[in-house]
Every structure is written in C-alpha cells, then in structure tokens.
Amino acid sequence: MCSALQDKDKCDCGHWSGVCIYQRFIENGKKATATRKYYEGEIVKKEKIGPELLKLIIKVPEYLSERLVQPGSFVFLKSPNDKVTFDVPIAVMEVNRKKSTITLVIKILGIKTKRIDQLKTGEKITVKGPFWNGILGLRHIKNLKDSTVLVIARGIGQAPMIPPLKELYNNNNKIITIIDKGKEGVEFIRPYLDRYSHVNIYTSVIDKGINSGKFEDIFKNIVVHDKVSLVHCDTADFIIKKVMKYIDDIEKEKGLKIDFSCCNNFKMACGEGICGCCTNRRNSNIKRMCKYQGDPKDIFEECER
C-alpha cells in the first residue's frame, strides 16, 4: 500500500491507519520491521453477562494498554496452548491505564471463541496487538466537535461502541443512541450510556424485519429534527447498508450533508496487511481492510461479501 516503498514520487497514504510504515522502515535501517508481538496476558476477571456473552478483564503489559485507548483499537486473543490459526480479533471496550488492564466482551460462537471460553480467571491468555483499524470512517469521529451524533449499536456491537462514544463525548458532542440488545438479549452498556450519552432509545432495529419501516421512521425523524451531523453504526453489515441508504435518502430530500462511520466487520487473520484474508476488491483495486482506512460509502459500494 505504501507509495513511497513502491518508489513512487509522492506520499499517498491518506487512507492508511496507524503509524507511517515508511518512517518505521527508514528508522529500522531500511529493513522491514517485525510484525506485532504476542504478549502474555492474565485474566483478572471472567464474567458471564449473557447466555453467549463473556466479559474479560485482562492484565497486559503497560506498553500494550497505553496503545489501545484510541477508538477502533482491537487485539487478537488465543489460548496460550493454541496455534496462531486460533487468533480471534476482538475490540477493546475499555482500558484502565493505572491497572494496565483491558476489558473486552466476546460472543461465544464457534471454535476460536469456545477455546477462549475454556480459560479461567487467573490463567494466562495470549494477546497480540496493538491494532487500530476497527472503525471505518474514523476521521469523522475524530473531527466532530460541538455537534449532534447518532450512535446505533446492536448485540455484540455494543462493545466496540464505547471508545468512540467517549471520544465524541470528550469533544462536547450531544449523543443520541439507539440500542438493540439483539439476539444476545442484554444491554450490557447501560452504565456507560448513563455517563456519556444524552438520549437513549432502546428498541429493535429489525423488528418485524429490517424492511418493516419502524426503525426507518425513528431514524429519519431523529436525524432531521435533531440536526445530526454524524451517524455511527456498530451493527452487522446488512444494517449498516440500510442505514447508509436512509442517510442517502435524507441527503437527497433535504439537501443535508451527514457523515457516516461504522465498525469494521471484515474477517481478519493476521491484522498486518499480509495474509489477504480481509481483501476487498473495488475497480480492480485490491484493499487489505485490516489496514485500509476510508469512507464506508466507498468500501460498501460494489463490495460483495
């Protein structure tokens, strides 16, 4: 992806997330730098917060916790006895810098997450990181100040919503949320909402099916009447696409400009831009979505997933 490393004339890294890899290359004596390390973490608290939901607080080295505070931060977790093929990407919900711990919520689904569920409090867990590209359209969150934002989360999407919620709150934005507990059946982020959000609506976004019109009416009403500047969505891709369509309708009907950001749901294996597991092809242009930072609109158009 780095145009400088491809011997092109100018730097063209506007869509790259994280540090400048060309600078790292130069600082490393013009040699490729090592990939991210595996760290030994310790599970200090393991709590079942729903039938399929696991909340973990993990003690990690200070170096790592310090680098996981940004919205979009995530790590790969696995049991120390498992091979790297068991690495599972999980968003960092909260960091306690004093205690050097990270908090994550995991939905137990298949082989990788079931292995993590077998670990007990006090046991070691392998943590690879830091990674930062867990949000598409991140610049809209970073740049928004003194405005109104609508945040939508469904099910496990509540976990990655906390760091952007804090960032938006710290930048003096008014926050409205729509929370759908989803199949998980728990609104586990209520304490955070009490602190950081101004108005909360608890409703199903796919009640009687996404096309029923109920959610669409609620959404369009809020966006227009509260003069929402940014919509952030932590849900499955089919809901993200619907929300993007609603925004498009409003922009065309009312002549408004509304920014959009969402969680990055691409399947990831290495997180380093190497394995190609997260590849998205558009106009013959291949992007590694674990690293590519761009507007969701550009990414979802023509995206066949």
Ligand X SMILES: Cc1cc2nc3c(=O)[nH]c(=O)nc-3n(C[C@H](O)[C@H](O)[C@H](O)COP(=O)(O)OP(=O)(O)OC[C@H]3O[C@@H](n4cnc5c(N)ncnc54)[C@H](O)[C@@H]3O)c2cc1C
Residues that bind ligand X (CB under 6 A): 74, 88-91, 104-107, 109-113, 134, 156, 159-160, 264, 266-269
Asked whether position 162 contacts ligand FES by CB under 6 A, the answer is no
Our CB check for ligand FES shows the closer of 130 and 271 to be 271
Our CB check for ligand FES shows the closer of 182 and 271 to be 271
Considering CB distances under 5 to 8 angstroms, the limit depending on partner class, which of ligand FES, ligand X, none binds residue 89?
ligand X
Considering CB distances under 5 to 8 angstroms, the limit depending on partner class, which of ligand FES, ligand X, none binds residue 271?
ligand FES
Enumerate long-range contacts of 10-19, CB under 8 Å, 24 or more apart.
15/292, 15/293, 15/294, 16/291, 16/292, 16/293, 17/72, 17/132, 17/133, 17/138, 17/291, 17/292, 17/293, 18/132, 18/133, 18/291
Closest contact distance (angstroms) between CB of 187 and ligand X is 16
Asked whether position 274 contacts ligand FES by CB under 6 A, the answer is yes
Our CB check for ligand X shows the closer of 54 and 244 to be 54
Among residues 20, 186, 269, 303, the one that binds ligand FES under rule CB under 6 A? 269
**Residue showing the smallest CB distance to ligand FES in the complex:** 290
**Residue showing the smallest CB distance to ligand X in the complex:** 110
Positive or negative: CA dihedral 292, 261, 132, 43: negative
Asked whether position 268 contacts ligand FES by CB under 6 A, the answer is yes
Closest contact distance (angstroms) between CB of 286 and ligand FES is 10
Our CB check for ligand FES shows the closer of 130 and 182 to be 130
Our CB check for ligand FES shows the closer of 128 and 232 to be 128
Q: Which stretch binds ligand FES (CB under 6 A): 155-163, 221-229, 247-255, 273-281?
A: 273-281
